[in-house]
């Protein structure tokens, strides 16, 4: 059975969801934290009852593959500067998930890709992100560093630098990809189970953008 990821470089560079807003975006009045009727946790509410929701952000990325080898990028920014990860970043408003994954890949690796199957969805409660990682076929371009990267390199399934990966999301996606290859092990092992109050989670990574 594939071991669950343990380490996470992002723990060294905490980044939360940001400061809680102080004023209501709908009316401008001060927000207070209170539990709504039949709700299970405090919300930010103004005197007029408008709720300011703080929801997870979506991160999208790819594992660019050519001839059975996967391309990874070395990050030039924190969190995880100098470490390897898949190309990825935040999904933009009005953008389909696959479109955003392709855009981030081309920006960070200069590779042209066709986005294929979904490798997995990885929840990061402490960072406030949900990450979608797709397998992508490399169809053109040249592997060169781009936005937020210093190096792009291809690795065989048995050459992946596990100890040098930037995020547990990268490790989970790569292990799921390797396990899905012919002759390999089970495809997926859950990364984590969420228990308790999410507010007690330790700070974590932003979504690889900036994955």
Q: What pLDDT, in 10s, does the model give residues 56-100?
A: 899 999 999 999 999 999 999 998 999 999 999 999 999 999 999
Cα–Cα separations (whole angstroms), residue 181 to 41, 52, 115, 117, 209: 42, 44, 17, 13, 27
Segment 152-168 mean pLDDT: 95
Spatial CB neighbours of 206, under 8 Å, sequence gap ≥ 6: 15, 57, 79, 127, 129
Cis peptide, bond prior to residue 97, ω within 30 of zero = no
* Closest by CA position to 91, among listed 119, 123, 58, 62: 58
Q: Where are the alpha helices (DSSP H) in 44-144?
A: 97-109
Q: Which residue has the higher pLDDT, 196 or 48?
A: 48
DSSP 94: T
Q: What is the mean pLDDT of the chain?
A: 83
Spatial CB neighbours of 41, under 8 Å, sequence gap ≥ 6: 35, 197, 198, 199
In order of their start, the domains of the chain are 18-54 (2.20.70.10), 55-200 (3.90.79.10)
Q: What pTM was computed for the model?
A: 0.73
Q: What is the pLDDT of residues 98-147, one digit of tens each?
A: 999 999 999 999 999 999 999 999 987 877 889 999 999 999 999 999 98
What pLDDT, on a 0 to 100 scale, did the predictor assign at position 198?
47
SS3 state at 79: coil
Token pair recorded at residue 192: 């984590």
State the Cα–Cα distance between residues 145 and 87, nearest whole angstrom.
11
Model confidence at 188, pLDDT cuts 50, 70, 90, reads: low
Q: How many Cα atoms within 13 Å fall on the side-chain side of residue 170?
A: 33
Model confidence at 171, pLDDT cuts 50, 70, 90, reads: very high
State the Cα–Cα distance between residues 64 and 137, nearest whole angstrom.
6
Cα–Cα separations (whole angstroms), residue 30 to 16, 52, 54: 22, 11, 16
State the Cα–Cα distance between residues 170 and 108, nearest whole angstrom.
15
| Residue in the block written with tokens 């990809």 | 177
């Amino acid at each position: 059975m594939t071991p669950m990821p343990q380490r996470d470089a992002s723990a060294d560079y905490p980044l939360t969801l940001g400061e809680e807003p102080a004023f209501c975006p709908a009316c401008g009045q001060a927000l207070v934290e209170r539990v709504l009727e039949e709700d299970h946790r405090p919300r930010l509410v103004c005197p007029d009852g408008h709720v300011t929701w703080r929801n997870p952000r979506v991160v999208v990325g790819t594992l660019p593959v050519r001839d059975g080898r996967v391309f990874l990028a070395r990050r030039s920014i924190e969190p995880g500067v100098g470490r390897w990860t898949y190309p990825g970043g935040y999904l933009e408003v009005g953008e389909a998930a696959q479109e955003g994954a392709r855009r981030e890949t081309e920006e960070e690796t200069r590779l042209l890709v066709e986005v294929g199957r979904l490798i997995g969805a990885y929840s990061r409660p402490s960072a406030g992100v949900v990450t979608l990682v797709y397998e992508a076929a490399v169809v053109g371009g040249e592997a060169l560093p781009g936005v937020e990267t210093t190096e792009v390199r291809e690795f065989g399934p048995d050459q992946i630098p596990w100890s040098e990966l930037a995020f547990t999301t990268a490790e989970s996606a790569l292990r799921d990809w390797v396990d899905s290859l012919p002759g390999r092990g089970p495809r997926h092992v859950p990364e984590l189970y969420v228990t308790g109050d999410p507010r007690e989670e330790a700070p974590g990574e932003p979504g690889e953008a900036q994955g």
